[in-house]
């Protein structure tokens, strides 16, 4: 189900040494273990009764002292994680606003807007973003996503989608049939990929001299600053710093050109990458981010201590509530909810259900527990005294939407950035 990964996927630190013709010997370098949640179920492995779960795997973070990349110690087989993927890009207003901002930034970076452009999106999910970019004037769009179920939805919305992982081989076959795309976009997919050398080689094959590559990834500095430990799960193989990205690209014909910071998903960055031979000089932001980044193994180790404090705080609130006869539910069956529920050891006794708007998750159970997912319907929330907001990245929107719950005396427990009760 999984394999161990002991060398840095960005800079190769701790890779076995292999003098020509001799079998590779283990390296004397070692990545540093900095965070662990023991053994955990796969965060999006929501199953119906009677269906088999994929299983458990270690959830441990290793730190590279050379390039500051943090990565999981194991890689779960992608076909297990993604074949039938329950994560669907949220149709929330916050996400739609973010897509608008992203479209604006891409247009700005292109210089002449996105009208008449050809766009390839890697990890295109249900095709929502490509659909929007087409409405903004993109001439031709192509999605690439290994999840068969999501590729099917995208095609139903007229977004041509290849249900395959992005690799160098796929890039080669695409480049034989199509002209170079104007934009290659990949939102929250790069840190799900194990073999960065192959992925980047694919980008090199596909990108022309004027192609703009835009990778949106969670920013590790936000995770560290706000102890977002619930964003650490098996799909997120890497926790990316700008330093690690620069190190990875240093051996390629691509270069980091511009970095833009976003608030979405608890803090993300858009990495604009261009070919080294492109005419544009790099933007000041790259140097500024590099100067500001001060990540060490010790920075990471404080996440462990702070996470234990947050877990204890949530357990205490929920135990106090249930012991006094109060009813608790969860709001948003995000992957983060699986991390929290398993880290706290909750079952249906403490959290009766989680409500969620995603059809694909309904009437399934939170991995590792018997907590069911029910529709996001006022009636379900209304019967609870407390709702734990596991989708805390949509706090404002959910509070607005569920005013009748809070007006009726219901309270949200928001676990981020610190565990607190609202109102």
> Measured from the CB of residue 316, what is the shortest distance to ligand TMP in angstroms?
24
Taking contact as CB under 6 A, which single stretch among the options 30-38, 47-55, 146-154, 330-338 is the one that binds ligand TMP?
A: 330-338
Does position 340 bind ligand TMP by CB under 6 A? no
Tell me the three state secondary structure of residue 295. coil
In the complex, least distance from residue 328 CB atom to ligand TMP, rounded to whole angstroms: 17
Selected from 117, 342, 358, 366, the binder of ligand TMP by CB under 6 A is 358
Q: Which of residues 60-119 bind ligand TMP (CB under 6 A)?
A: 90, 92
Closest distance between ligand TMP and the C-beta of residue 155, in Å? 22
Contact pick of 123, 332, 368, 415 for ligand TMP (by CB under 6 A): 332
The string of DSSP letters for 255-291 reads: EEEEEEEE-GGGSEEEEEEEETTSSSPPPHHHHHHHH
Least distance (Å) between residue 239 CB and ligand TMP? 16
Angle between helix axes 93-110 and 128-135 (nearest 10 degrees) is 50
Smallest gap from residue 18 Cβ to ligand TMP (A):
40
SS3 category, 335: helix
Do residues 254 and 275 make contact, with C-beta atoms less than 8 angstroms apart? yes
Please state the separation of Cα 52 from the chain's center in Å. 25
The stretch among 61-69, 299-307, 329-337, 409-417 that binds ligand TMP (CB under 6 A) is: 329-337
Question: Which tokens hold the place of 305?
Answer: 């201590």
Strands in 118-122's sheet, in edge-to-edge order, are: 161-162, 140-144, 118-122, 183-187, 212-218, 268-275, 254-262
Shortest reach from residue 383's CB to ligand TMP, in Å = 17
Q: Which stretch binds ligand TMP (CB under 6 A): 67-75, 273-281, 326-334, 340-348?
A: 326-334
Q: Write phi, then psi, for 242 (nearest 5 degrees).
A: -65, -35
* Nearest distance in Å: CB 331, ligand TMP: 7
State which of positions 120-149 bind ligand TMP (CB under 6 A). none
Q: Is the dihedral of CA 146, 173, 157, 122 positive or negative?
A: positive
Closer residue to ligand TMP, CB minimum distance, 284 or 377: 377
Q: Whose Cβ is closer to ligand TMP: residue 216's or residue 356's?
A: 356
| Closer by beta carbon to ligand TMP, 216 or else 376 | 376
Site string for ligand TMP, 391-420 (x = CB under 6 A): x-xx--xx--x-------------------
Q: Which residues of 130-148 are buried (b: 16+ CB within 10 A; e: fewer)?
A: bbbbbebebeebbbbbbbe
Would you call 198 helix, strand, or coil by DSSP?
helix
> From CA 368, how far away is CA 347, in angstroms rounded?
9
When binding is defined by CB under 6 A, the residue of 268, 356, 364, 411 that contacts ligand TMP is: 356
Residue count at the site for ligand TMP (CB under 6 A)? 16
Tokens of 367: 């991995």
Ordered DSSP codes for 53-111: P--EEEEEEEE-TTT--EEESEEE-HHHHHTT--------HHHHHHHHHHHHHHHHHHS
Q: How far is CA 117 from CA 101, 183, 294, in A?
A: 18, 8, 38
Among the listed residues 42, 67, 333, 351, the single contact to ligand TMP using CB under 6 A: 333
Q: How far is the CB of 332 from ligand TMP (least distance, A)?
A: 3
Residues 6+ positions from 345 with CB-CB distance below 8 Å? 315
280 versus 395: smaller Cβ distance to ligand TMP? 395
Q: Which of 357, 395, 406, 417 binds ligand TMP (CB under 6 A)?
A: 357
Q: Which is nearer to ligand TMP, 181 or 367 (CB)?
A: 367
User: Which residues contact ligand TMP (rule: CB under 6 A)?
Assistant: 90, 92, 332-335, 356-358, 376, 391, 393-394, 397-398, 401
């Amino acid at each position: 189900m999984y394999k161990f990964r002991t060398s840095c996927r960005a800079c190769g630190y701790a890779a076995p040494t292999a003098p020509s013709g001799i079998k590779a010997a283990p390296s004397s370098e070692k990545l540093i273990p900095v965070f662990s949640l023991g053994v955990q179920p796969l965060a999006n492995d929501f199953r119906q009764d009677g269906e088999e779960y994929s299983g458990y795997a270690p959830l441990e973070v290793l730190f590279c002292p050379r390039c500051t990349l943090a990565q999981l110690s194991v890689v779960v087989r992608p076909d297990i994680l993604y074949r039938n993927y329950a994560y669907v890009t949220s149709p929330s207003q916050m996400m739609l606003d973010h897509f608008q901002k992203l479209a604006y930034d891409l247009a700005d970076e292109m210089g002449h807007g996105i009208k008449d452009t050809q766009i390839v999106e890697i990890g295109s999910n249900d095709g929502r973003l490509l659909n929007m970019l087409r409405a903004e004037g993109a001439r031709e769009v192509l999605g690439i996503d290994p999840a068969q179920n999501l590729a099917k939805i995208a095609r139903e919305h007229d977004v041509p989608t290849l249900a395959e992982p992005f690799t160098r081989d796929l890039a080669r076959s695409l480049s034989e049939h199509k002209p170079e795309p104007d934009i290659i976009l990949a939102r929250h997919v790069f840190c799900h990929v194990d073999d960065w050398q192959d992925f980047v080689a694919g980008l090199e094959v596909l990108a022309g001299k004027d192609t703009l590559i835009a990778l949106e990834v969670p920013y590790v500095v936000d995770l560290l600053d706000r102890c977002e430990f619930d964003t650490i799960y098996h799909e997120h193989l890497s926790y990316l710093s700008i330093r690690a990205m620069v190190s990875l690209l240093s051996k390629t014909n691509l270069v980091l050109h511009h970095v833009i910071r976003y608030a979405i998903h608890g803090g993300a960055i858009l990495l604009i990458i261009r070919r080294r031979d492109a005419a544009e000089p790099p933007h000041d932001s790259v140097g500024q981010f590099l100067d500001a980044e001060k990540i060490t193994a010790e920075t990471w180790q404080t996440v462990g201590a702070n996470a234990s404090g947050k877990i204890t705080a949530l357990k205490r609130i929920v135990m106090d509530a249930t012991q006094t006869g109060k009813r608790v539910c969860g709001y948003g069956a995000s992957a983060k909810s699986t991390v929290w529920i398993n880290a706290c050891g909750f079952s249906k006794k403490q959290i009766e259900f989680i409500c969620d708007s995603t059809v694909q998750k309904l009437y399934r159970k939170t991995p590792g527990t018997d907590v069911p997912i029910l529709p996001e319907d006022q009636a379900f929330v209304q019967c609870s005294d407390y709702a734990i907001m596991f989708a805390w990245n949509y706090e404002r929107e959910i509070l607005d939407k569920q005013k009748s719950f809070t007006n009726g005396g219901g309270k949200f427990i928001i676990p981020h950035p610190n565990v607190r009760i609202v109102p």
